[in-house]
Chains A and B, each alone.
Chain A
Amino acid sequence: MEFNIETPELDEKTLRRAQVRFVTKLKAPLKVPNTSIAIPSNLTRFGLSSVVNNLLQSVNPEWKSEPFDFLINGELVRMSLEQFLLAKGISAEKVLEIEYIKAVVPQKEEEPCLHDDWVSAVDGSHPGFILAGSYDSLGRVWKAAGSCTHILEGHSGAVSSIRFLKSDGMKNVTVATSSKDQTLRLWKFDAEDLINHPKKINAFKILRGHKASVQSIAAHASGDMICSGSWDCTINLWRTNESDAEGDQVSTKKRKVNNQVDESQFEGEAVSTLVGHTQCISSVVWPQHETIYSASWDHSVRRWDVETGKDVSDIFCGKVLNCIDVGGEGSALIAAGGSDPILRIWDPRKPGTSAPVFQFSSHNSWISACKWHDNSWFHLISASYDGKVMLWDLRTAWPLAVIDSHKDKVLCADWWRSDCVISGGVDSKLCISSGLSIQ
């Protein structure tokens, strides 16, 4: 097929060409003809993208150009084609198969949700709303950018973590929060009711048992159980159901006698405690039915078996860890960041080694949060004290995107609706970057 590419006519002698074929897993309107073409080998990502757009336009004249990202042998092209081939030692003689995917770039920076104090926790696991916890000891529910629907009031210390537990659609939403006042609280609200003024909600259950600030909570997939990591070096498991054990009722009775403030407030006690860490547990995740992962300031990542309450394996990294998340390929990769600018990713399935399989070190300061994308094997975000949220793809060592909307430290970050990145920081803002197209 004869095809003219609009590339700057450089010196013909120095211009080397490579035989490539563009392939994709994208759906029909994005498919290009499966023929090999010769393109200048000094093309970068932008050049390749324009080539693909031209090809698409030749098929469909109404095509609007769109940025693409390119994969060669499963690695994203981040330099000129020539350099890439040289660096990877790929022969330019053969027909090169280049897979193209939609580029993952935040399209839009939505208006930030302003808080009264530092935003210390966010959760975007429910597509209908965003949960945010703040240092003013309040939790907030945001319907969208700028519209706060509920305020969770009751903690006496900064909210350190907030988690969505379960809901029936938009009704009966259960949310758990942990705070530096050593307690966890469970909240219930209906997200559907639309009110102009945010509605103040009280916790229906207070979970006491930690002897120090609670740093992090994680919920079981069913939402019936939560676990929490604390400064007292323990992980406590709690039940979240509303009306159950007798001990709870006794305690509520006592409470009623004492002050009779809130009739619907129960108190809960820990179901079990996982002991093993020697220092503050900064982050916990509960990805599977009976496995809890925890990251701690004692430089270790531990995997706990919920049934037995023992730690199954641990990974030592040498640095204080602040955040952990499990996801990626087979939901098995552990990403963790801490008191240094390196985001490390371990593969626990790899036998005999505890060395991280990936290390991303574009940040300048402590990493405060990291989160895998729910559906993608490759994408994760990290937030750092240097004020940046970075979007990573495992297939390249460079960040796909840097969200630089915060003025100061970013304390928390999460995905929302699988195409937005939400992050909260010391500048009291909850920033939402939307328009990420991740398949």
Chain B
Amino acid sequence: MRAVKTVSVEVTSPKKKKNNNNNDKKKKKQNQTEKKDNQNLLKKMTKSANSVQTENDASLKIQELEQQQQNTTQELSATDSDSDSDYQVFSEDEVSEDYESLRESEDGESESSGDEVHGSDDDVNNDNDGHEDQSDGSESHQGVEESDSSEDEVAPRNTIGDVPLEWYKDEKHIGYDISGKKITKKERQDKLASFLASVDDSKNWRKIYDEYNDEEVELTKDETKIIRRLLKGKAPHADFDPYADYVDWFKYEDSLHPLSNAPEPKRRFIPSKWESKKVLRYVRAIRKGLIKFDEPKEEEPRFYLMWGDDSSTAEKANRLSYIPAPKSKLPGHEESYNPSLEYIPTQEELNSYQLMYDEDRPKFIPKRFTSFRSIPSYENAVKESFERCMDLYLCPRVRKKRINIDPETLKPKLPSRKDLKPYPATCYLEYKGHKGAVMSISTEASGQWIASGSTDGTVRIWEVESGRCLRVWEIGEPVHCVAWNPSSELPVLAASAGQDVVLLNTGFGNEEEQKRVGELLQVETHTASDDSDNMASIVSWLQDDKLGGIRLRHFKTVTSVDWHRRGDYLSTVMPSGESRAIVMHQLSKKLSHRIPFKLHGLPVSSVFHPTRSIFFVSTKKTIRVYDLLKQKLIKKLETGLREVSSIAIHPAGDNVIVGSREGKLCWFDMDLSSKPYRILKCHPKDITNVAFHRSYPLFASCSDDGTAYVFHGMVYSDLNQNPLIVPLEILHGHTSSNGRGVMDCKFHPRQPWLFTAGADSTIKLFCH
């Protein structure tokens, strides 16, 4: 090891000399390259050294050496900083011309062989001399010739080991000999003297200063010869023949005896059991017809679409499929270096880009360049390729199953509007006369008359067919609700105004009926006091002679009035009445009752079931359904609405529609669930009222947006079939005033006509 190291130092030294001329900064870099050079040199040298040995040996040696060399390079790198100073020291040595020439020949060897020959001639002579000199006693070049046993024994004089020599730079000794004594530095000749000496000394070019041992070593002739051969890339030793004849030691073709004398095994002569089994299997398969010979084999396609979409092939595989990366966008015309003029944005467009949001702004703005030369480097190249890499690397790839469905087919199959005729569509008649918003309308059972109540404090009766106003009652207070008695024998109208509910005699009917009604609408003042004190505080029955009817004075404002189908009972709702909010009045006995149910929430309206003794109470959020005979809650309908404004019962009684202040209409199928069967969001504003037609499958909603919607709402007697709801028509016509639009809508009892009462103080009749 030691020896190798010294060699390396020696061999590199000539190179180092060259570096000396260069400035110090470069040195470190070159160190690296020099290490490589060292390696090569070493290999070559060791080759020459081992030339006598067999190839095997040589390769072994080389391996060994390479290991060693690795070590040295490690050492070198470890002592990089130190080696600088080493070389410094080196550089201080005299540089002989001979070395220079040697180096030159080394450089130029590849160029001309003539030089080489010339040089080698010279060396041959020197070689011999040097050899003799060396034998005298220079212990320094043991490393060069390992094979030389005599020199192997010579130990280096210095024993400091592998430490930077720098450490001893300022010392007077260079190290210690084997016995531990200091080896003092030799006196240095001054440069001039040494130069002169070197000029005189003809052997000076062969001398090398060994810093480690602080002595000059003179290369022998053999050594220089080896170096030369190495430099030429030949085997170091002249006697080594790299192209020796090949000797085939293992040739035995014509030899008498085989390599193995074993007899043939038995198995070579027995037919294979497994093969026969296999054959049997094939035979069976052929008999069964599993294997067919006639069928031409499916030829694999000789050609395949090289640039085809690999997604299709990937889909065939059953296993986790490979999802190809999304292809990046190919450049188009606008990305050209010289795009057509129409691609170039004008100044206005550029300005408009500035006003856009970042995400809307075009990513690439085309520019023109007159030539390739003037194209600058693409500024986003790194960024974009980085993002692309990030996408490929990080973005999860999912194959999206795209369903090929025509969106039209997803629409529910609704019958055409034409098939659902008749329904109200056009307004032909208007009923004008009110001075204020018409709040409520009610139709007479036969459909000849309608009654309306308005904020101008009047109740009017109109003839449907002509639009004639027949009667007017001045109530005095804004009328909130009117309700015509459903019984045709009792032409009585109930109207709520403020805290009062007024029962009016309409004056229709023949004399008998009039007589009966007249009697019915007579209240003896005493009967009121017969009620419990509790009820008297809520409602009092008073005779109103001016209007010719009964005035039911409540303790709170009444908003909703509804007649029972027989026309004897009447329910009124006072939203602010708390527990006494809903009161039921009996006309024939002039009695009032509280309903025996606890109210949850603010009541909005109450409706009687059209056929059975069932009572619906709608509060702001829910609809409660009570059985009046059993006096218990049957059902609770959860509307999910913010504020219920109106309710209507289907004439069959099992379906309920509920309108809300947020413009939503809920259809409840009470047989189905207590949740809405359908929620229709059609009105942009509050729904003020909803209505069912008595005989046609129609229902309507009216809203503050000034429109009324007409729907087809068919309820089937077959319980398995859900109701069919089809929107039919939007009825415009009312103008909104003070933010109120259509206040009420009612169907004609027998015709598919819709009456709408508007805040514009008109009532309109929409006919089919």
Which residues on A are within 8 Å of B, measured CB to CB? Answer: 118, 120, 135, 158, 182, 211-213, 231, 279-280, 282, 297, 318-320, 322, 339-340, 365-366, 385, 409, 411, 426
A409 touches B467 (CB 8 A): yes
Once bound together, how far apart are the Cα atoms of A426 and B465, in whole Å? 13
Among residues 425 to 483 in chain B, which have CB atoms less than 8 Å away from a CB atom of chain A?
426, 428-429, 446-448, 465-468
CB distance from A117 to the nearest CB of B (A): 9
CB distance from A280 to the nearest CB of B (A): 7
Which of A280, A282, A340 is the one whose CB lies under 8 Å from B767? A340
Across the A-B interface, the 6 shortest Cβ-Cβ residue pairs: A365-B428, A339-B767, A366-B428, A231-B448, A279-B750, A182-B510
A409 touches B510 (CB 8 A): no
Q: Is B751 an interface residue (CB 8 A)?
A: yes
B510 touches A318 (CB 8 A): no
Which of B448, B467, B468, B750 is the one whose CB lies under 8 Å from A212? B448
CB distance from A409 to the nearest CB of B (A): 7
Instruction: Name the residue of chain A whose CB is nearest to the CB of B446.
Output: A231
B448 touches A213 (CB 8 A): yes
Once bound together, how far apart are the Cα atoms of A297 and B421, in whole Å? 17
B429 touches A366 (CB 8 A): yes
Q: Is B333 an interface residue (CB 8 A)?
A: no
A339 touches B468 (CB 8 A): no
Provide a sorted-by-A list of 20 A–B residue pairs whose CB atoms are within 8 angstroms: A118-B466, A118-B468, A135-B468, A182-B510, A211-B510, A212-B448, A231-B448, A297-B447, A297-B750, A297-B751, A318-B421, A318-B422, A320-B751, A322-B465, A339-B428, A339-B767, A340-B426, A366-B428, A366-B429, A366-B767
Contacting residues, chain B, for A212 (C-beta < 8 A) = 446, 448
Q: Is the interface of B mostly helix, strand, loop or mixed?
A: loop
CB distance from A167 to the nearest CB of B (A): 30
Instruction: Name the residue of chain B whose CB is nearest to the CB of A318.
Output: B422
Given A385-B429, A409-B466, do A280 and B422 touch, yes or no (CB 8 Å)? no
CB distance from B181 to the nearest CB of A (A): 139
Contacting residues, chain A, for B767 (C-beta < 8 A) = 320, 339-340, 366
Instruction: Name the residue of chain B whose CB is nearest to the CB of A386.
Output: B428
Q: Is B203 an interface residue (CB 8 A)?
A: no
CB distance from A437 to the nearest CB of B (A): 33
Which of B448, B466, B468, B510 is the one whose CB lies under 8 Å from A280? B448
Contacting residues, chain B, for A322 (C-beta < 8 A) = 465
Contacting residues, chain A, for B751 (C-beta < 8 A) = 297, 320, 339
Instruction: Name the residue of chain B whose CB is nearest to the CB of A364.
Output: B428
Once bound together, how far apart are the Cα atoms of A113 and B317, in whole Å? 96
CB distance from A127 to the nearest CB of B (A): 29
Known: A426-B466, A426-B467. 5 other contacts (CB 8 A): A158-B468, A231-B446, A282-B465, A340-B428, A411-B466
Which residues on B are within 8 Å of A, measured CB to CB? Answer: 421-422, 426, 428-429, 446-448, 465-468, 510, 750-751, 753, 767-768
Once bound together, how far apart are the Cα atoms of A339 and B448, in whole Å? 14
Given A297-B750, A366-B428, A385-B428, do A319 and B768 touch, yes or no (CB 8 Å)? yes
CB distance from B490 to the nearest CB of A (A): 14
Contacting residues, chain B, for A320 (C-beta < 8 A) = 751, 767
Contacting residues, chain A, for B465 (C-beta < 8 A) = 282, 322
Once bound together, how far apart are the Cα atoms of A409 and B466, in whole Å? 8
CB distance from A34 to the nearest CB of B (A): 50
Once bound together, how far apart are the Cα atoms of A318 and B767, in whole Å? 12
Once bound together, how far apart are the Cα atoms of A309 and B384, in whole Å? 96
Once bound together, how far apart are the Cα atoms of A378 and B468, in whole Å? 34
Instruction: Name the residue of chain A whose CB is nearest to the CB of B421.
Output: A318
Instruction: Name the residue of chain A whose CB is nearest to the CB of B467.
Output: A409
Contacting residues, chain A, for B467 (C-beta < 8 A) = 409, 426
Once bound together, how far apart are the Cα atoms of A346 and B593, in whole Å? 58
Once bound together, how far apart are the Cα atoms of A366 and B768, in whole Å? 11
Contacting residues, chain B, for A279 (C-beta < 8 A) = 447, 750
Contacting residues, chain B, for A297 (C-beta < 8 A) = 447, 750-751
| Best-buried of A118, A135, A366, A426 by chain B (most CB within 10 Å) | A366
| Best-buried of B426, B466, B468, B751 by chain A (most CB within 10 Å) | B466
Instruction: Name the residue of chain A whose CB is nearest to the CB of B510.
Output: A182
Contacting residues, chain B, for A182 (C-beta < 8 A) = 510
Contacting residues, chain B, for A385 (C-beta < 8 A) = 428-429
Instruction: Name the residue of chain A whose CB is nearest to the CB of B750.
Output: A279
Once bound together, how far apart are the Cα atoms of A134 and B768, in whole Å? 29
Given A297-B751, A339-B767, A409-B467, do A280 and B428 touch, yes or no (CB 8 Å)? no
Once bound together, how far apart are the Cα atoms of A280 and B751, in whole Å? 11
Once bound together, how far apart are the Cα atoms of A249 and B422, in whole Å? 50
Once bound together, how far apart are the Cα atoms of A378 and B179, in whole Å? 157
CB distance from A426 to the nearest CB of B (A): 8
Instruction: Name the residue of chain B whose CB is nearest to the CB of A341.
Output: B428
B446 touches A280 (CB 8 A): yes
Contacting residues, chain B, for A339 (C-beta < 8 A) = 428, 751, 753, 767-768
CB distance from A383 to the nearest CB of B (A): 12
Once bound together, how far apart are the Cα atoms of A62 and B421, in whole Å? 61
CB distance from B285 to the nearest CB of A (A): 78
Contacting residues, chain B, for A319 (C-beta < 8 A) = 768
Contacting residues, chain A, for B422 (C-beta < 8 A) = 318
Once bound together, how far apart are the Cα atoms of A140 and B467, in whole Å? 23
Contacting residues, chain B, for A158 (C-beta < 8 A) = 468
Once bound together, how far apart are the Cα atoms of A409 and B447, in whole Å? 21
Instruction: Name the residue of chain B whose CB is nearest to the CB of A408.
Output: B467
Contacting residues, chain B, for A280 (C-beta < 8 A) = 446-448
Contacting residues, chain A, for B510 (C-beta < 8 A) = 182, 211
Instruction: Name the residue of chain B whose CB is nearest to the CB of A181.
Output: B510
Contacting residues, chain A, for B446 (C-beta < 8 A) = 212, 231, 280
Once bound together, how far apart are the Cα atoms of A86 and B510, in whole Å? 62
Contacting residues, chain B, for A211 (C-beta < 8 A) = 510
CB distance from A97 to the nearest CB of B (A): 43
CB distance from B432 to the nearest CB of A (A): 11
| Best-buried of A118, A339, A385 by chain B (most CB within 10 Å) | A339
Once bound together, how far apart are the Cα atoms of A365 and B468, in whole Å? 16
CB distance from B731 to the nearest CB of A (A): 16
CB distance from B263 to the nearest CB of A (A): 115
Contacting residues, chain A, for B468 (C-beta < 8 A) = 118, 135, 158
Instruction: Name the residue of chain A whose CB is nearest to the CB of B752.
Output: A320
Once bound together, how far apart are the Cα atoms of A411 and B465, in whole Å? 10
CB distance from B469 to the nearest CB of A (A): 10
Contacting residues, chain A, for B466 (C-beta < 8 A) = 118, 120, 409, 411, 426
Once bound together, how far apart are the Cα atoms of A426 and B768, in whole Å? 24
Contacting residues, chain B, for A231 (C-beta < 8 A) = 446, 448
Once bound together, how far apart are the Cα atoms of A135 and B468, in whole Å? 9
Once bound together, how far apart are the Cα atoms of A322 and B447, in whole Å? 15
Once bound together, how far apart are the Cα atoms of A158 and B465, in whole Å? 13
Contacting residues, chain B, for A120 (C-beta < 8 A) = 466
| Best-buried of A135, A279, A297, A426 by chain B (most CB within 10 Å) | A297
Once bound together, how far apart are the Cα atoms of A282 and B751, in whole Å? 14
Once bound together, how far apart are the Cα atoms of A219 and B489, in whole Å? 31
Contacting residues, chain B, for A426 (C-beta < 8 A) = 466-467
Once bound together, how far apart are the Cα atoms of A231 and B421, in whole Å? 25
CB distance from A115 to the nearest CB of B (A): 14
CB distance from B517 to the nearest CB of A (A): 15
Once bound together, how far apart are the Cα atoms of A6 and B672, in whole Å? 82
Instruction: Name the residue of chain B whose CB is nearest to the CB of A231.
Output: B448
Once bound together, how far apart are the Cα atoms of A322 and B465, in whole Å? 9
Once bound together, how far apart are the Cα atoms of A135 and B446, in whole Å? 21
Contacting residues, chain B, for A213 (C-beta < 8 A) = 448
Instruction: Name the residue of chain B whose CB is nearest to the CB of A366.
Output: B428
Instruction: Name the residue of chain B whose CB is nearest to the CB of A120.
Output: B466
Once bound together, how far apart are the Cα atoms of A211 and B448, in whole Å? 13
